[in-house]
Amino acid sequence: MTVRADAGRAKGRSPAFDDPSRVRNVVLVGPSGSGKTTLVEALLAHAAAIPRAGSVVEGTTVCDQDPAAVRQQRSVALAVAPLVHQQHKINLIDTPGYCDFVGELRAGLRAADAALFVVPATEGREGAIDPTTVAQWEECAAVGMPRAVVVARCDHTRADLDATVAACHDTFGAGVAPLYLPIREGRTMTGLYGLLSQSPAEQAPDGADDARAELVEGIIEQSEDDTLMERYLRGEALDVPTLIDDLETAVAGGTFHPVVPVCATSGIGLDAVLEVLVGGFPSPLEHLLPRVWGVDGTDHPPLVADPDGPLAAEVVRTSTDAYVGRVSLVRVFSGTLRPDSTVHVSGHPGRRDGHHPDGHRPDGHRPDGRDTDSPDTDGHDAEERLAHVYAPLGTALREVDACVAGDICALTRLGSAETGDTVSAAEHPLLLSCWDLPEPLLPVAVVANRRGDEDALVTTLAKLVAADPALRLERNAETHQTVLWCMGEAHADVVLSRLRAGGAGVDTEPVRVPMRETIAGAARVTGRHIKQSGGHGQYAVCHIEFAPLPRGAGFEFESKVVGGAVPTQYVPSVEKGIRAQLARGLSEGHHPAVDLRATLVDGRAHSVDSSDAAFQTAGALALREAAAACGTMLLEPLDEVAVRVPDAHLGAVLGDLSARRGRVLGTDVAGPGRSLVRAEVPRIELLRYAVDLRAITAGTATFTRRFAHWATAPAG
């Protein structure tokens, strides 16, 4: 569905939410099918942000759509849905559950101040948390994101709430503790019992006292009041307001994670979730903000969520609407965005580079070696005029007076803005530090299926790369292919679908791996270029010794000519001709040649007919003669691969690497129950490794790769 945002605007502007302390930016994290989108819709309906769950807001009207179609639309993209509860604005940031879309997840984490982790109540029946869920938990932990857990789908016929909470406790650590217990009639959940408030007292479930003691101890361990634990151990009754005040401190510490059971269809638990969001999660004032510099690289004081501070905002998602064009989802960290103002848009040049021509970046660092948490002073810069500022609700836009520090808004028609760009005041341009981008490792070569589609393909590719932080575009000069580097098959399918929806007739083709070649032995040859065609002729003779060099040595040239047999001014011409032939290759494959030494030992020249061009040609002919005399060897690129894998799958990974002609360099401990395998593997064997590794390890392993060296390719 494409929403015509301008057609659906309400007349006038909605008032801005101007108090950062009353804003909560909450990212919903969880695997596909966990119930995130259903929970968002239920919370919106419960807070009267939409008329009822299952509705899709379009402008100022509400449309009922096929829920499956809505979920498919929202399952692979970050979406924001705001609601108001107890005079607090809560921006719910729904993220994709598929592991291929970790780029959207990281964008959501950047925009949020806390995470609501959604785990289905069916998860615990298997006795362990799904590996995708664990990977997403680790993503949140890596950025220090405060987290609470919602156990969703508690009305499912296979739901086992107790087992799921126990599995979360075992997997995520002792800091996972229930904040509420279910009240049941038989096997049906009819309500929740609050462990802090101990209400409703007449319906306290079995084990409530023990669960409350565990919860209280978890909270006061993180309390800033050192006397609280002593009072508790002395048997003093701690009042509920004190415990609630300390709950936020405990959650913000990142080691305590309250659990709330929810049944979205019946509405049970929705009030409890909203209470956690308002009373348990930190506001933007309490969240550590990104580092910031002036666009010229000068230091800048740390940001705070001050509406009157310097404007510093970031584009966390970019999309294209058929009617209004580019839509930029923006988190404002400092200052205030207002309509009818001019802003400065700054970008990071290292974020969207193709891979190195000789290999791949091993991690999220910039290709030039600078860390992602350092300023760039050579990125793109532009000034843009804002006409409107919008509050987003999914794909619908509602115009507002302003967007203050801590809030999230949407801007339209920022033609130069890409995901990850900084938006700041024109008179005080700034640049925020990057967030870590995932490294896409699945190459897909695309080609226009008709000549007339080439322009549409180029245009649509530019839009997709600007919008998707996990997509890399490489135009390989050697293979003459346009290669999209994706996170996995699901990501690739979505990218191809969006390309075709953008009007580009596109096909895929096998990815070609650049090769090299070298001479197979040593030879002394003569390069002879003598032509007489009237007027000045062409005359150059050079005797050259060629010999192979070790892998990675490159090309070496030396002259041992004595007595002026080859005039000094023509010696560089011989080298230039050899280098040109190296670039063209030595065989019909036209692969560039490397790793050889050429020694010019003798030659002849003519006082009239010799020239720079003639000796270049003679040098090139000599190299071809050497290749014919001693033969050539084809070289293939080897990548150094680092695979982080659970020990349970270590044997399968080692066996698979061996089957790919890999050579294991070593195995190290990479944390509890994990190993890091380092190996050299031919690049041609890694084209689908991102997909295959996920299959053989149930999605639990990750890997990085970087160019290692060239090696002799097997015959045939």
- Alpha-carbon distance 572 to 580, whole Å? 12
Tens digits of per-residue pLDDT, 62-71? 333 333 333 3
Question: 486, 364, 383: which is closest to 433 by C-alpha?
Answer: 364
515: pLDDT strictly greater than 60: yes
For the residues 538-542, what does the mean pLDDT come to? Answer: 96
Does residue 596 contact residue 547 with C-beta atoms inside 8 Å? yes
60: pLDDT strictly greater than 50: no
Share of the chain above pLDDT 70, in %: 89
Here the contacts of 369-374 (C-beta below 8 Å, separation 24 or greater) are 372/433, 372/434, 372/435, 372/436, 372/437, 373/291, 373/433, 373/434, 374/433
Is the CA virtual torsion 616, 617, 621, 622 positive or negative? Answer: negative
Phi, psi of 427, rounded to the nearest 5 degrees: -85, -10
- pLDDT, residue 13, reads 54
CATH 3.30.70.870 in the chain is located at 443-505
Does residue 148 contact residue 274 with C-beta atoms inside 8 Å? no
Mean of all residue pLDDT scores within the chain: 87
Residue 534 pLDDT level (bands cut at 50, 70, 90): low
Q: What pTM was computed for the model? A: 0.84
For the residues 312-326, what does the mean pLDDT come to? Answer: 87
58: pLDDT strictly greater than 50: no
Note the helical H segments in 178-268: 208-221, 227-233, 240-252
> Which secondary structure element, helix H or strand E, spans residue 305, and what is its range?
none
CATH 3.30.70.240 in the chain is located at 634-712
- pLDDT, residue 199, reads 92
Tens digits of per-residue pLDDT, 151-207? 999 988 889 999 999 999 999 988 999 999 999 998 889 999 999 999 999 999 999
Phi, psi of 165, rounded to the nearest 5 degrees: -60, -40
Residue 15 pLDDT level (bands cut at 50, 70, 90): low
For residue 66, the SS3 value is: coil
Tokens of 337: 């965005």
How far is CA 185 from its chain centroid?
45
Q: Count Cα neighbours of 307 within 13 Å in the Cβ-side half-sphere.
A: 14
- Alpha-carbon distance 508 to 500, whole Å? 12
CATH 2.40.30.10 in the chain is located at 292-432
Tens digits of per-residue pLDDT, 349-381? 655 444 333 333 333 333 333 333 444 444 688
- Alpha-carbon distance 441 to 485, whole Å? 6
Does residue 154 contact residue 189 with C-beta atoms inside 8 Å? yes
Is the CA virtual torsion 576, 580, 585, 587 positive or negative? Answer: negative
Is the CA virtual torsion 153, 154, 160, 165 positive or negative? Answer: positive
Q: Which residue has the higher pLDDT, 657 or 352?
A: 657
Tens digits of per-residue pLDDT, 247-291? 888 898 888 999 999 999 999 999 999 999 999 999 999 988 999
* Cis bond upstream, residue 302 (ω within 30): no
**Alpha-carbon distance values, 318 to 65, 275, 305, 327 (Å):** 24, 31, 23, 6
Name beta bridge partners: 119: 151
Q: Which residue has the higher pLDDT, 170 or 8?
A: 170
Beta strand 342-346 with 422-425: parallel, antiparallel or unpaired? antiparallel
Does residue 298 contact residue 36 with C-beta atoms inside 8 Å? no
- pLDDT, residue 93, reads 95
Q: What angle do CA 484, 494, 131 make, to 5 degrees?
A: 95
Number of H helices, E strands in the chain: 15, 36
Here the contacts of 299-308 (C-beta below 8 Å, separation 24 or greater) are 300/430, 303/333, 303/334, 304/334, 304/405, 305/20, 305/333, 305/334, 305/405, 305/406, 306/20, 306/334, 306/335, 306/405, 307/18, 307/20, 307/335, 307/336, 307/404, 307/405, 308/335, 308/336
Q: Which residue has the higher pLDDT, 578 or 214?
A: 578
Q: Which residue has the higher pLDDT, 131 or 448?
A: 448
> Which secondary structure element, helix H or strand E, spans residue 496, and what is its range?
helix 489-501
Tens digits of per-residue pLDDT, 30-50? 988 899 999 999 999 999 988
Note the helical H segments in 15-160: 36-46, 67-74, 102-111, 131-142
- The CA dihedral of 356, 360, 363, 369, to the nearest 10 degrees, is -30
Domain 516-630 has CATH 3.40.50.300: no
Question: 289, 274, 327: which is closest to 406 by C-alpha?
Answer: 289
For the residues 20-26, what does the mean pLDDT come to? Answer: 96
Classify residue 560 by burial, with Cβ atoms within 10 Å: 0-12, 13-18, 19+. exposed
For residue 607, the SS3 value is: coil
For the residues 518-528, what does the mean pLDDT come to? Answer: 96
Does residue 628 contact residue 588 with C-beta atoms inside 8 Å? no
Topology of 292-432 in CATH?
Answer: Elongation Factor Tu (Ef-tu); domain 3 (2.40.30)
Domain 24-215+256-286 has CATH 3.40.50.300: yes
Its CATH architecture, for the domain 443-505, is 2-Layer Sandwich (3.30)
- pLDDT, residue 53, reads 60
Tens digits of per-residue pLDDT, 438-493? 899 999 999 998 887 888 899 889 888 888 888 999 999 889 999 999 999 999 99
* Domain 634-712: top CATH class: alpha beta
CA R_g for the chain: 32
Q: Where are the extended beta strands (E) located within 161-221?
A: 176-178, 180-185, 188-194
Question: 512, 521, 552, 519: which is closest to 634 by C-alpha?
Answer: 519
Classify residue 224 by burial, with Cβ atoms within 10 Å: 0-12, 13-18, 19+. exposed
For the residues 501-511, what does the mean pLDDT come to? Answer: 90
- pLDDT, residue 218, reads 86
Does residue 549 contact residue 667 with C-beta atoms inside 8 Å? no
CATH 3.40.50.300 in the chain is located at 24-215+256-286
- Alpha-carbon distance 42 to 65, whole Å? 15
